[in-house]
Amino acid sequence: MARDRHSTLIRDPDTPTRATPVELFYDLVFVFILARLAESLVGKLTPLGAYETLLLLLAVWWVWSYTNLATDTLDSRRPAVQLVIITIMLGSLLMSTSLPEAFDGRALLFASTYVGIHLFRSATLAVILRDHRLRNRPLRGIFWFTLSGVLWFGGVYVSGMLRMVLWTAALAMDYLGPVLRWPTPGIGRSPAWEWNTAGRHLAERYRQFVIIALGETVIITARTVRGTDYGPVQAVAVLVSFLTTVLLWWIYFYRAREKLGSAITGSADPGRETKWAGYAHLIMVAGVVLVSVGDELIIRHPVEDTPGGWVAVLVGGPVLFLAGRILLGHEVFVRVAGPWPIGIAVLVLMAPAMVLLPPLAVAAAVMVVLLGVVVAAALTLREPGGTPGAV
């Protein structure tokens, strides 16, 4: 093994692990990206449209998640690292402009920016870490993203279901890499110690992304209301939308905000906990995107008939959010609060009857269930003696 030369661009493990201003600046792009995904789904509220939106969300999440792993390794207070992050930010912005038409006329823009971001980031890390003990980690990234890149670009030059199949296979390869520990010719699989990340830093970054996602629902609500004849029904819809967002915020942030970082760093396998925390947050963000779509539906069509697809959106968003919260509690905190799965059960059981109600009434019923979950959790999330209980 080469001598471990600690570059000034590499994060000192003894320095504070809080997110830096440039990371927060980078996150601004994703407010727009999530809004574009919601816009795309509203325009294609079909099973195929939902699947396309899911693929795009998975791709967007992978860009954001891998960039966090880079800033977890590098010192983002350094101007050179900041330039790298800002370059990725520009690529993410270009990628966002292609999202609603990624499966149509802007496939090349989407594929080239997605693959380009991953290869640029990995190549830059390979240069910076060339004399560091983590030097093989970005080399594995270059190998795997090049392989999946062939499928991404292959999908650009076909259309219809064949593009869908190729891009699904490409995304599956991107997500399969961590599961298989990135086996790469010449350097083998990634050892566990390569992923002993700064848990507190990643925990803070996850929290910030949830804030971005929830903030995007507020933006969608305000933008949608502006395009309607604002009346009493719309006022009620805005109130229901806003209170639903507040309840989701409470479900995520109550007490867990203080424990996620220590739960990861205190684990016997921080890499595993980081992986499961990422999956849990991805599920919650997917739920928030559905909530955003539901907000637009109830504001634009508050008292119309409610098709089954609309019910799936209005109920499915909170269900996904609660499911992600349960996964986070089970895999990272070991314990799960009882109100979370009960809330899912109630929402799923009441969904079939919701087609008989107008969209605003469905959203209000969902909000009431979430309120019940919050109240029950506030009353039960304590152990004897007043100490915190399950999370």
Tens of pLDDT, residue by residue over 86-128, are: 999 999 999 999 998 999 889 999 999 999 999 999 999 999 9
Structure tokens at 386: 């007043």
Count of positions (residues) in the chain: 391
Sign of CA dihedral 353, 358, 363, 365: negative
| pLDDT above 60 for 387 | no
Query: Is residue 333 classed as helix, strand or coil in its secondary structure?
Result: coil
59/20: higher pLDDT: 59
161/273: higher pLDDT: 161
Which pLDDT score, from 0 to 100, does residue 390 have? 46
Rounded-to-integer distance, Cα 353 and Cα 301, Å: 19
188-202, 217-231, 262-276: the lowest-pLDDT one? 262-276
Which pTM was predicted?
0.89
Which pLDDT score, from 0 to 100, does residue 385 have? 45
Which pLDDT score, from 0 to 100, does residue 269 have? 63
| pLDDT above 70 for 389 | no
| pLDDT above 70 for 335 | no
Instruction: Find, among 321, 309, 300, 288, the residue nearest to 223 by Cα.
Output: 300
**Once rounded to an integer, what is the mean pLDDT over residues 202-218?**
88
Interacting residues of 234 by C-beta distance below 8 A, sequence separation 6+: 225, 228, 299, 302
CB 96 within 8 A of CB 33: yes
Indicate the CATH number for domain 199-380.
1.20.1410
| pLDDT above 60 for 208 | yes
362/327: higher pLDDT: 362
105/323: higher pLDDT: 323
Which pLDDT score, from 0 to 100, does residue 69 have? 84
Written as one string, the DSSP assignment of 340-363 is: HHHHHHHHHHHGGGGGGS-HHHHH
Which pLDDT score, from 0 to 100, does residue 384 have? 42
| pLDDT above 60 for 2 | no
**Once rounded to an integer, what is the mean pLDDT over residues 339-356?**
94
25-29, 254-258, 329-333, 369-373: the lowest-pLDDT one? 254-258
Structure tokens at 123: 């190549």
Rounded-to-integer distance, Cα 106 and Cα 126, Å: 30
Structure tokens at 100: 């609603």
Interacting residues of 227 by C-beta distance below 8 A, sequence separation 6+: 300
Domain definitions of the chain by residue range: 21-195, 199-380
**Once rounded to an integer, what is the mean pLDDT over residues 374-380?**
87
Which pLDDT score, from 0 to 100, does residue 119 have? 97
